[in-house]
Amino acid sequence: MQHMSKKNSAKSAKPARNSKHRGQGTPSAGPLRTYTIRDYRLEKPSFAIRQIRKGDEVRYEVEGSLDSPVPPIRESKYLTQQQHIEIYRWMLLNRKMEQALENLYKQGKVVGGVYFGLGQEACSCASAFALRKEDWLGPLIRNQGSLLARGFAPRDVMMQYMAKAGSPTKGRDASSHFGDLQERNVVAPISTLGDLIPVLAGVALGARLQGRNIAAMTYIGDGGQSTGVTYEGINFAAVQNLGLVLFVENNLWGYSTPADMQFRVQDLAERAIAYGIPGVIVDGTDACQVYDAAHQACERARRGEGPTLIEAKMMRMKGNAIHDAAEYVPKPLFEYWKKRDCIARFENYLVKVRKWLTLQENDKLIADVDRQLEEDRDYAVASPMPEPESAAGGVYCENGCHEIKPKYGMPRAGNRASLRPGRPGAAPHLT
Ligand SMILES: Cc1ncc(C[n+]2csc(CCOP(=O)(O)OP(=O)(O)O)c2C)c(N)n1
Ligand SMILES: [Mg+2]
């Protein structure tokens, strides 16, 4: 796999350390180096969002054309017909679960706010779908589809938002701050943006010390990627060749700040060049592109070749959370991205383009998702709130209350050798 090629200067005619994975640029005599980023997209939007100030008033306008035709779905190199349909089902479940959560919120049943990933379901679901059981996931709060694809049920998410006793945190947290370190290998979202990156790099490091190279996938937004800890986490993973798979979800807004006012690089995937790791761009509304890039990055991680940064371009189709009506977003931008809706386009691809689902099969699949959601919602609504006296339980680890076992085996001193930088693929082995 060749994501980034780097034309070395004459000085580096001898293969660079780790050159196989950094790029295979032909050594050139000139003073200029060139770098390339693999871009899977079938459409490259040509507009920007500009701030207009009039007195105290601030608003945003789109500059450029929003008239381009909607791109087709890119054919996947890896997914089977059945896997396409599975991803489509996760996306539907993701969207409809969030619609149900919005209704529960409006009925006053939710404690706290609700965060939506509307328009980003392909990115959440198809990325997590590329993980294997032994891999790890560190979702952000918007990646509720990743949680579903990783094996959580809609009732878990719903009970969590309603702070029910049966929720993953037993009512100790509203919204989606939960994971599962035992069975599903999921680290809970961390709201301090960027902090998940070194944590997931650490997970990959821990696995390697126990004799296994795994993929450790996490996400960061266009806003959150500016934090210092993002740099530290990616750099650490890069230097140690850790199997971090980082999705940079460029959904054009960080709260009410447009991406065009947050960074000067053209594409956030370009950041990868400076870390010395592969950078990839995908259309985040195309599940096939998301899956293929995730699959390649996970395979690379499992071979012990190090991290990959994948920029997924899309649009946050709601405000930051339910309280934010996103009034600051220019209306034509919503219309543009609505035409690129990830579910409608994937449905059209499966039903009309590939003809892998008949209309009846599609209707049945949608009805099955609706039925599952109805059951889960009823279960979650009917389930009890926690008993007040349970509030302090499970907060502190009481002596011997649970055992923390290594996941893949006992750490061995011999595995340290594989941590030496510049030894991609050095398969650690238990001695
Ligand atoms: C380190 C840190 N700074 C600020 C915040 C407050 N905050 C919460 S969401 C948000 C916007 C994040 O935007 P982005 O990273 O683009 O993610 P998106 O909401 O678009 O998915 C901010 C600034 C935070 N959670 N963590
Ligand atoms: Mg954003």
Contact 114, 97 (CB under 8 A): no
Of 221, 238, 64, 235, residue with least CA distance to 139: 221
The pLDDT value given to residue 413 = 64
Q: Is the CB of 191 under 6 A from ligand 1?
A: yes
Q: Tell me the pLDDT tens digit for each residue of 59-112.
A: 999 999 999 999 999 999 999 999 999 999 999 999 999 999 999 999 999 998
Q: How far is the CA of 224 from the centre of ligand 1 (A)?
A: 5
Q: Which ligand is nearest to the CA of 124?
A: 1
Atom of ligand 1 nearest to the CA of 255: 11
Ligand 1: which residue has its CA nearest to atom 17?
221
Ligand 1: which residue has its CA nearest to atom 20?
254
Q: What is the token pair recorded at 191?
A: 């709201």
How far apart are the C-alpha atoms of 404 and 183, rounded to whole Å?
A: 13
Mean pLDDT score of the chain: 90
The pLDDT value given to residue 399 = 74
Atom of ligand 1 nearest to the CA of 221: 15
Q: How far is the CA of 257 from the centre of ligand 2 (A)?
A: 9
Q: What is the token pair recorded at 216?
A: 């450790």
Q: Tell me the pLDDT tens digit for each residue of 251-297.
A: 999 999 999 999 999 999 999 999 999 999 999 999 999 999 999 99
Q: How far is the CA of 226 from the centre of ligand 1 (A)?
A: 10
Strand-pair category, 216-221 with 253-254: unpaired
The pLDDT value given to residue 410 = 86
Q: Is the CB of 253 under 6 A from ligand 1?
A: yes
Separation of CA 27 from chain center: 35
- The answer on pLDDT for 239 being more than 70 is yes
Q: How far is the CA of 41 from the centre of ligand 1 (A)?
A: 26
- The values of phi and psi at residue 104, to 5°, are -60, -35
Percentage of residues of the chain with pLDDT beyond 90: 81
- Helix %, strand %, coil % of the chain (to 5): 40, 15, 50
How far apart are the C-alpha atoms of 200 and 186, rounded to whole Å?
A: 10
Pocket test for ligand 1, best of 120, 191, 193 (most atoms within 8 A of CB): 193
Q: Tell me the pLDDT tens digit for each residue of 24-50.
A: 334 566 788 889 999 999 999 989 999
Q: Is the CB of 251 under 6 A from ligand 1?
A: yes
Q: How far is the CA of 221 from the centre of ligand 2 (A)?
A: 5
When mean pLDDT is compared across 16-30, 124-138, 357-371, the lowest value belongs to 16-30
Q: Tell me the pLDDT tens digit for each residue of 296-341.
A: 999 999 999 999 999 999 999 999 999 999 999 999 999 999 999 9
pTM of the complete model: 0.91
Strand-pair category, 257-258 with 57-64: unpaired
Ligand 1: which residue has its CA nearest to atom 21?
221
115 Cβ partners below 8 Å, 6+ apart?
Answer: 141, 142, 144, 175, 176, 320, 321, 322
Q: Which residues neighbour ligand 2 (ion) by CB within 5 Å?
A: 221-223, 251, 254
- The answer on pLDDT for 422 being more than 50 is no
- The answer on pLDDT for 210 being more than 90 is yes
The pLDDT value given to residue 403 = 80
The pLDDT value given to residue 3 = 42
Q: How far is the CA of 229 from the centre of ligand 1 (A)?
A: 13
Atom of ligand 1 nearest to the CA of 142: 21
Task: Tell me how crowded residue 359 is: count the other CB atoms within 10 A of its CB.
Answer: 9
pLDDT category, 416, cuts 50, 70, 90?
A: low
Radius of gyration, CA atoms only, the chain = 22
Q: How far is the CA of 318 from the centre of ligand 1 (A)?
A: 14
**Sign of dihedral through CA atoms 31, 37, 38, 43?**
negative
Q: How far is the CA of 143 from the centre of ligand 2 (A)?
A: 12
Average pLDDT estimate for 221-249: 98
Q: Is the CB of 223 under 6 A from ligand 1?
A: yes
Pocket test for ligand 1, best of 116, 255, 268, 322 (most atoms within 8 A of CB): 255
- The values of phi and psi at residue 258, to 5°, are -70, 150
Tokens 């599609």 belong to which residue? Answer: 362
